[in-house]
Amino acid sequence: MTEQSIISDDMTLKRMFQDFYRVPDYQREYVWGETNPKGEGGEEVDQFLTDIYTEYENATKDFAPEYFIGTIVVCKDANDVLELIDGQQRTTTAYLTLCALRDALVELEQSLPEELKGQIASSTVDWQGESIARYRLELQYEDSGGILVQYAEGTGKDANKEQTRSIRNIGNAYQTVREFISSTLEGDPAAIRKFHGYLTNKVKIIRIQTPTIAKALKIFETINDRGVGLDAMDLLKNLLFMNAKESEYTKLKDIWKQLTDEIYNAREKPLRFLRYYLLASFDVDSKLREEVIYDWFLKNEKLTKHASEPTKFANKLLDAAKAYRNFASNRNASGGIERGIGNTRLLGGKSIKQHFIILMAGRHLTPSNFANLCDEIEKTMFVWLITGTPGKEYERRIVDAAHELRTTSDDEFDQFILDHFKKERESLATHFSARLQTLKFGDTRQFRIRYLLAKITQHVDLQAYGPSQGRDDLEDYVSGGNDIEHILPDNGDGDALSEFGDGGDDQEIIQRLGNLLLIEKSINRAIQNGKYSEKIKVYPQSKYLLTRCQASKQSGQVGVADKITKAAESLEVFPVWNSTSVEDRQKFLTRLATDVWDVKSGKAAGPA
The pLDDT score that the predictor gives to residue 511 is 94
- Contacts of 171-176 spanning 24+ positions with Cβ under 8 A: 171/33, 171/147, 172/33, 172/34, 172/35, 172/42, 172/45, 173/30, 173/32, 173/33, 173/42, 173/45, 173/92, 173/93, 173/96, 174/33, 174/96, 174/99, 174/100, 176/33, 176/42, 176/45, 176/46, 176/49
Mean per-residue pLDDT over the chain, rounded: 89
Beta bridge partners of 209: 7, 74
| Pair (388, 465) in one structural domain | no
Same domain, 171 and 154: yes
pLDDT mean over 492-519: 91
Q: Which residues contact 145 (CB under 8 A, 6 or more apart)?
A: 163, 164, 166, 167
DSSP characters over 354-391: TTHHHHHHTTTS-HHHHHHHHHHHHHHHHHHHHTT--H
The answer to whether 485 and 516 have CB atoms below 8 angstroms apart is yes
- The answer on 480 and 402 residing in a single domain is no
Q: Are residues 375 and 299 both part of a single domain?
A: yes
Q: Which of 383, 403, 437 is the last residue of a domain?
A: 437
The 3 state secondary structure assigned to 18-57 is CCCEEECCCCCCCCCCCECCCCCECHHHHHHHHHHHHHHH
413 and 455 in a common domain = no
Residue 490 inside a domain? The answer is yes
Tens of pLDDT along 452-482?
A: 999 999 999 999 999 988 899 999 999 878 9
Q: Among residues 315, 317, 297, which one has the least CA distance to residue 307?
A: 297
Q: Does 366 score more than 90 pLDDT?
A: yes
Residue 78 resides in a domain = yes
| Same domain flag for 78 and 204 | yes
> If DSSP states are collapsed to H, E and C, what string results for 465-484?
HCCCHHHHCCHHHHCCCEEE
Amino acid at 430: T
38 shares its domain with 105: yes
Could you tell me the maximum CA-CA distance found in the chain, to the nearest angstrom?
A: 102
The answer to whether position 237 is within a domain reads: no
Nearest to 256 by CA among 282, 238, 283: 238
* pLDDT > 70? residue 358: yes
Most confident of 28-42, 115-129, 402-416, 434-448: 402-416
Look at the chain and report how many structural domains it folds into.
Answer: 3
Give the CA count within 13 Å in the CB-facing half-sphere of 13: 30
pLDDT score at 606: 45
What is the pairing mode between strands 121-125 and 131-135?
A: antiparallel
Please write the tens of the pLDDT for every residue from 422-457. Answer: 999 999 999 999 999 999 998 888 899 999 999 999
State whether 403 and 280 are in the same domain.
yes
- 60 band by pLDDT with thresholds 50, 70 and 90: confident
pLDDT above 90: percentage of residues in the chain: 63
* Same-domain pairing of 516 and 406: no
pLDDT band of residue 274 (cuts 50, 70, 90) is very high
Q: How confident is the model at residue 125 (pLDDT cuts 50, 70, 90)?
A: confident
Q: Which amino acid is at 101?
A: L
Domain boundary (223, 258, 287) is at 223
271 lies in the same domain as 202: no
530 and 410 in a single domain? The answer is no
Question: In this structure, are 213 and 264 located in the same domain?
Answer: no
Q: Is residue 566 part of a domain?
A: yes
Question: Are the C-beta atoms of residues 304 and 313 closer than 8 Å to each other?
Answer: yes
- Domain of 270, in residue numbers: 249-437
